[in-house]
């Protein structure tokens, strides 16, 4: 646990606009950001090229020769943009809503393909279906690029200033990713059974979904008892794991996941609506997102972390007394 002085000139919400060449040089774009942006622009270039080629009556042979050129040009363009104008990516990644613009080419390409197919303007009708592939690719690579540019903006805070305090986030309580996996598997199992009528694959998917949902919701189930210690009915050994490193700055929290590949993300203080300290965990309540539930036993100085979260930021969370906290036990 560290408690160095925070740099008041840096912060999640207080980052200055970078305009001159010296500011641009200070941005460390690394390797992953140019790669992610280059891959995204390559997929967009492939989708636009394919759409224009099909609309103008190009044959399959013409597509096979033009698409590799478009892909290469997109990769090179993304790398050059990230290296020469990193502030463009920085400004894009400062706010999540700006990164949504990276997904706009996907519905344009998909919509254009459906229009061409429905109007019968394409000589070879089979050429419109492959256009849906780059549209899906834009969604995937757009999400990857959004994480990369947001990580670049977070890095301007992390790399230029010392955190007020930091600790390791060990998962405690419900696990949102596992819950999402369970719900998705159950829905896909139902869809597969409806379309195919077979029971084999849907049964396996349903079992996977049910197990993921149960473990994600309650890896440890305890029953209240007359004594001080509740009775453990069910527990998965070693289920708790280190999810991320959390660093507190003047304007918010920076969460750096342990698993790779992953990207840092910023939680401004105005999105931390409350903090609760219970017998088992430190809970940071977030607006619009699942709470951050940290295993209390894994934090060296939980009181220092609690005090930092309570007193930092523009909107200071209100402390909840553990004796009156309405915290469900899992």
In this prediction, residue 44 carries a pLDDT of: 93
In this prediction, residue 21 carries a pLDDT of: 38
In this prediction, residue 19 carries a pLDDT of: 36
In this prediction, residue 20 carries a pLDDT of: 39
Instruction: In whole angstroms, give the CA distance from residue 110 to residue 136.
Output: 8
In this prediction, residue 40 carries a pLDDT of: 94
Instruction: In whole angstroms, give the CA distance from residue 102 to residue 109.
Output: 13
| Neighbour tally for 15: CB within 10 Å | 18
Low pLDDT (below 50) residues in the chain: 1-25, 125, 238, 314-315, 317-319, 321-330
pTM (predicted TM-score): 0.60
User: Model confidence over 12-60: pLDDT tens digits?
Assistant: 444 334 333 334 446 677 788 888 999 999 999 998 988 888 777 777 7
């Amino acid at each position: 646990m560290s408690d160095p002085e925070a740099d008041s000139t840096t912060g999640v919400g207080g980052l200055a606009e970078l305009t001159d060449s010296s500011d641009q040089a200070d941005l460390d774009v690394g390797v992953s950001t140019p790669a992610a942006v280059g891959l995204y622009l390559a997929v967009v270039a492939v989708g636009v090229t394919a759409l224009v080629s099909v609309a103008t009556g190009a044959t399959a042979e013409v597509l096979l020769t033009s698409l590799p050129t478009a892909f290469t040009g997109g990769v090179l363009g993304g790398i050059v943009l990230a290296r020469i104008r990193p502030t463009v990516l920085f400004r894009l990644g400062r706010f999540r809503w700006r990164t949504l613009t990276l997904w706009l080419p996907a519905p344009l390409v998909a919509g254009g393909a459906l229009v061409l197919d429905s109007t019968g303007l394409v000589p070879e009708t089979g050429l419109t279906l492959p256009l849906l592939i780059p549209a899906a690719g834009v969604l995937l690579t757009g999400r990857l690029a959004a994480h990369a540019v947001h990580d670049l903006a977070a890095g301007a805070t992390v790399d230029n200033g010392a955190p007020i305090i930091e600790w390791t986030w060990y998962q405690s309580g419900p696990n949102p990713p596992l819950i999402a996996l369970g719900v998705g598997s159950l829905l896909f199992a139902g869809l597969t059974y409806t379309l195919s009528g077979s029971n084999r694959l849907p049964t396996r998917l349903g079992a996977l979904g049910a197990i993921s949902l149960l473990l994600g919701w309650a890896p440890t189930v305890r029953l209240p008892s007359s004594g001080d210690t509740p009775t453990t009915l069910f527990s998965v050994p070693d289920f708790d794991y280190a999810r991320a490193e959390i660093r507190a700055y003047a304007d918010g929290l920076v969460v750096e996941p342990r698993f790779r590949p992953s990207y840092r993300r910023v939680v401004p203080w105005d999105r931390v609506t409350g903090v609760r300290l219970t017998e088992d965990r430190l809970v940071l309540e977030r607006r619009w997102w699942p709470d951050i539930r940290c295993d209390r036993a894994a934090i060296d100085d939980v009181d220092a972390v609690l005090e930092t979260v309570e007193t930092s930021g523009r909107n200071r969370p209100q402390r909840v007394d553990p004796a009156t906290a309405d915290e469900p036990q899992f």
